[in-house]
Amino acid sequence: MRITGWSGGLAAAALLLAGCGGGPGGGGGKISDGGIVLAVLNDQSGIYADTSGRGTVEAVKLAVEDYRAKYGDQAVAEKIDVVAADHQNKPEIANSKAQELYDRQHADVILDVPTSSAALAVATVAETKKKVFIDVGAATTELTGESCNKYTFHYGYNSYMLAHGTGSEVTKDGADSWYIVYPDYAFGQDMTETFSAAIEASGGTVVASDPTPFPNDNFSTFLLKAPGLDPKPKVLGTMHAGGDLINLVKQYNEYKLRDKGVDLALGLLALSDIHSLGPDALAGTRYTTMWVWSFDDQTRAWADRMRTKLGKRPTSNMAANYSAALQYLEAVQRAGTDNADEVVKQLEGRQIEDMFVRNGTIRAQDHLLVHDAYLAQVKPSSEVAEEWDYEKVVKTIPAAEAFPAQPDPACEL
């Protein structure tokens, strides 16, 4: 194994994992450019670096290791490289980096891409280049709606899953009036739309909603506004993530809004966010997630392996990228080639059950991974048995409820 050139904050950062052992199997001669290249395009230096970043690259490398261990000399590709780049949460940079990864670094697939505006930009490049793109980090439903295409897959979660977990459950429990604040870009806009629909379908109302600058470190204007609205909302629903979410929660607690009758609901929460804030800052808060590291022996065993590499527990985003990378390699193995059209055929309709995915199916009609999700709750520090043991699953949301029953009719692959 050979690793080169990791520099955590550099946009051109790349990790190279050279294939070890064995020659190509039945698909020999059908692998382009002398090998397979998996590219991770994400935020390596900004507000989403902790939820994704270098940890996601390590997760993808681990998927390559497990693929090699499973197939040995029968592996289709003799060489597998993992490269990485930083899109800085900017769609124009994501666009140029995606083109560079596909054209100059010969990437066969781009993975991750948090920030919905960046993901939509990469989806357009993937369609133009006729290369596979498996998004994990973005929440926008447009990836499997009006912006869907043959080469793009949405793997992990979307705003519908988050809204129909947290939005519906919190509203049904009596917190039926909301003030929503959201980052002013595609992710926040989509989250606000889907949460509002879920809240209203559950008998609640959205008193008001406001966009905030992205990224942002001062939410005082919005937090001070909440208790003065008429009618006063029972819930402040934040659609932020990563560093923005951490800043907002700190300020929410400083202003003691809970004491003023305005509870907090989160659209998206990562394990790294809880660790940064400390569990007591969020104790009792419910949220929807695609994965919890301590869920069972299988998830814990994988999290133990990642902790050896990272020195910390992995986030759900890292787990999802591991699964997506492994499923891509399995699809190449079945196809006997890295030809994108053939790999797409192998992914469409695929049923998945692994460390990350439970009851999963990649829907052929829109390329959405449908799977079980979880309503979770943050533990108070008094219940934390070990470091990173911050989450408990309150309810498993079956795949059929977690995601739309039918594809978006706007999607035409």
**Model confidence pLDDT, tens digit, residues 372-393:** 999 999 999 999 999 999 999 9
**291/260 Cα distance (integer angstroms):** 33
Work out the angle at residue 211's Cα, subtended by the Cα atoms of residues 85 and 163, and round it to the nearest 5 degrees: 80
Coil, strand or helix: which one is 178?
A: strand
Could you tell me the pLDDT band of residue 44, with boundaries at 50, 70 and 90?
Answer: very high
In a domain, 311, yes or no: yes
Coil, strand or helix: which one is 180?
A: strand
In a domain, 77, yes or no: yes
238 and 382 inside one domain: yes
Assign residue 268 the CATH number of its domain. 3.40.50.2300
At residue 78, the pLDDT reads: 85
Pairing verdict, β 391-397 and 286-289: unpaired
CB distance 6 to 52 below 8 Å: no
Indicate if the alpha-carbon torsion angle 87, 92, 98, 101 is positive or negative: negative
186 and 321 inside one domain: no
Domain tally, the chain? 2
Tracing tokens 């949301």 back to the chain, one arrives at 397
At residue 364, the pLDDT reads: 98
Could you tell me the pLDDT band of residue 34, with boundaries at 50, 70 and 90?
Answer: confident
> pLDDT tens, 266-277?
999 999 999 999
Could you tell me the pLDDT band of residue 29, with boundaries at 50, 70 and 90?
Answer: very low
CB distance 370 to 399 below 8 Å: yes
> pLDDT tens, 315-345?
999 999 999 999 999 999 999 999 999 999 9
Could you tell me the pLDDT band of residue 83, with boundaries at 50, 70 and 90?
Answer: very high
In a domain, 16, yes or no: no
215 and 311 inside one domain: no
In a domain, 10, yes or no: no
203 and 275 inside one domain: yes
Checking 190-193 for CB contacts under 8 A at 24+ apart, the result is 190/116, 190/139, 190/140, 190/141, 190/142, 190/159, 191/139, 191/159, 191/162, 191/163, 191/239, 191/267, 191/268, 192/239, 193/159
At residue 11, the pLDDT reads: 35
52 and 166 inside one domain: no
Range of the domain at 331: 32-157+295-370
Coil, strand or helix: which one is 210?
A: strand
Token output for 204: 């609640």
In a domain, 27, yes or no: no
In 33-151, where do the E strands start and end? Answer: 36-42, 80-86, 109-112, 132-135
CB distance 269 to 250 below 8 Å: no
pLDDT at 214 over 80: yes
Residue 105's CB is within 10 A of a number of other CB atoms, namely 15
Could you tell me the pLDDT band of residue 89, with boundaries at 50, 70 and 90?
Answer: very high
pLDDT at 234 over 60: yes
> pLDDT tens, 291-316?
999 999 999 999 999 999 999 999 99
pLDDT at 19 over 70: no
Could you tell me the pLDDT band of residue 177, with boundaries at 50, 70 and 90?
Answer: very high
Q: What is the mean pLDDT of residues 60-64?
A: 98
Work out the angle at residue 378's Cα, subtended by the Cα atoms of residues 394 and 209, and round it to the nearest 5 degrees: 95
144 and 52 inside one domain: yes
At residue 77, the pLDDT reads: 87
Coil, strand or helix: which one is 409?
A: coil
Kindly state the DSSP code that residue 355 receives in the 8-state scheme.
S
233 and 118 inside one domain: no
137 and 285 inside one domain: no
Q: Which residues contact 104 (CB under 8 A, 6 or more apart)?
A: none
The CA R_g of the chain, rounded to the nearest whole Å, is 21
At residue 323, the pLDDT reads: 98
Share of the chain above pLDDT 90, in %: 92
> pLDDT tens, 116-166?
999 999 999 999 999 999 999 999 999 999 999 999 999 999 999 999 999
44 and 77 inside one domain: yes
Could you tell me the pLDDT band of residue 88, with boundaries at 50, 70 and 90?
Answer: very high
Query: Between these two residues, 4 and 252, which has the higher pLDDT value?
Result: 252
**51/221 Cα distance (integer angstroms):** 27
Work out the angle at residue 11's Cα, subtended by the Cα atoms of residues 6 and 16, and round it to the nearest 5 degrees: 35
Tracing tokens 């999700």 back to the chain, one arrives at 373
**187/220 Cα distance (integer angstroms):** 22
280 and 315 inside one domain: no
325 and 247 inside one domain: no
At residue 109, the pLDDT reads: 98
In a domain, 271, yes or no: yes
Q: What is the mean pLDDT of residues 25-30?
A: 48
Coil, strand or helix: which one is 154?
A: strand
In a domain, 246, yes or no: yes
Token output for 144: 């499997």
272 and 176 inside one domain: yes
In a domain, 17, yes or no: no
